[in-house]
Structure 1
């Protein structure tokens, strides 16, 4: 009897010693997605966050066919870990559950070239690229300075110029991408169906209708309304309670 009691105490101790994240993972593996959601959200409510928590939350909501919170949490995870292909793939699957089909209007001109180039990497990655290039610049300078051969001096002087130009490009791209990300206010529609108004007034004319899970950009706020823009450049006013801003 004592042995059974000790085993029981050991099992309960191990269970209660688990972190909310580990408990959430166990619930998820057993198909208890609602209980897993409670565990993951308790982490966020405590003021902590991570790409892994948002990613797991997105998976739970996806399993429960709740498109808006699934998309929202995958987007939050992607903000914290923008180069994670698994997050990107699951977000793409979640977006297929949305009703609204919005065709993105591509940018044109020089601004598109800069935007496409800078968005190739996260701004943190651009910073590391600049550091690596700066190290190569210093190595080239050292070889140039201590070398006596004219040909070697010319080669490494040219390398210094090239690395310096690349450093400037990396720094510019990093700041450009950081500014773009920080100034953009993406949001997800959480209402099942919501009318987007032509003016920030509940009685104004309906411009178009959106459904749960659709991503939009918040341009400005006025009273209880957000002015929003879609990927196809349509604009209108939507009630704040119908959407959840990602950042």
Structure 2
């Protein structure tokens, strides 16, 4: 009985939070339409603080920052929107426009055929989506195998056997993709520079040499951390160290 009460309390709390978040979202949207961007940002970020996030929340938050000409948080929130929904075309298009405001022009290293295929097709879905596809395929493969096992006529057995083999092959492929995408997501830590201009050092010390300069809104990959320093890598292959507080990880 006690567990039932706890579950009911958690359910009611979740529903209440969701309703509050929806009301905040609608209020923030109204403020945005009225041109009250700073007030809208406060409400969107309140939703984020309550951990009731969505691609739409980050997208609208980015739009609000864009209206205030704040480059770093604009790009950061478009990137967050795409993390949650890689198929969000509006966020993707607006991110391209926002990146034109950055000062750094970094040419990415050429990608191999497999890397291009991974980026253009496999990464269209998150590893969570691939995991769902894997589960669905496992059910389909199991059902087809059972139909093959209990089928009586040779034609049906042949059909179910062929389709179950194809399903198992697709299942194995999707499982490999899910595992690969998960590992890439965990290893590939990206961040946005949040300082107007920052020198990048060759070592994680205050008295080390500056090797190049970055500006706000530039996206980097975080490779390592030492004390209050982060080792970063750019799309063109350049590597250096910056203070932790100057960037915000995605």
TM-score, with structure 1 as normaliser = 0.83
More moved, 84-93 vs 133-142: 133-142
Distance in 1, Cα, partners of 2:72 & 2:65: 8
* Mapped pair 1:140 → 2:183: no
Aligned pairs, number: 228
User: 1:209 and 1:179, CA in 2 relative to 1: closer, same or farther beyond 3 A?
Assistant: same
2:219 alignment counterpart: 215
Alignment correspondent of 2:135: 131
Matched residues in 2 for 1:177 and 1:27: separation?
38
Q: How does 1:86-165 map to 2 (within 5 A)?
A: 86-108=90-112, 112=115, 115-116=118-119, 118-165=122-169
Q: Which runs of 5+ in 1 are unaligned?
A: 1-17
String of CA shifts for 1:53-112, please: whole Å, max 9, x gaps.
2211100011111110100111122222232222222222212221111111134486x3
Q: Aligned equivalents of 1:44 and 1:99: distance in 2?
A: 29
Of stretches 62-71 and 48-57 in structure 1, the one that deviates more from structure 2 is: 48-57
- Give the corresponding residue for 2:185: 181
Please give the alpha-carbon distance, in whole angstroms, between the structure 1 residues aligned to 2:185 and 2:137: 24
Deviation at 1:44, TM superposition (A): 2.7
In the aligned structure 1, how far is the partner of 2:43 from the partner of 2:248? 21
The alpha-carbon deviation at position 205 of structure 1 amounts to 1.6
Structure 1 residues 52 and 161: CA distance shift in structure 2, 3 A: same
Aligned residue number for residue 206 of structure 1: 210
Do structure 1's residue 37 and structure 2's residue 41 form an aligned pair? yes
Of 36, 57, 62, the residue aligned with 2:61 is: 57
Listed as ranges, the gaps of 5+ residues in structure 2 are 1-21
What is the alpha-carbon distance in structure 1 between the residues aligned to residue 116 and residue 82 of structure 2? 23
- Cα contact 2:71–2:217 (8 A) shared by 1: yes
Alignment match, 1:244: 248
RMSD across aligned positions (CA)? 2.2
The CA deviation at 1:49 is 2.8
TM-score normalised per structure 2? 0.82
> Residue 118 of structure 1 contacts residue 176 of structure 1 at CA under 8 Å; is this kept in 2?
no
* Alpha carbons 2:81, 2:88 under 8 Å: kept: no
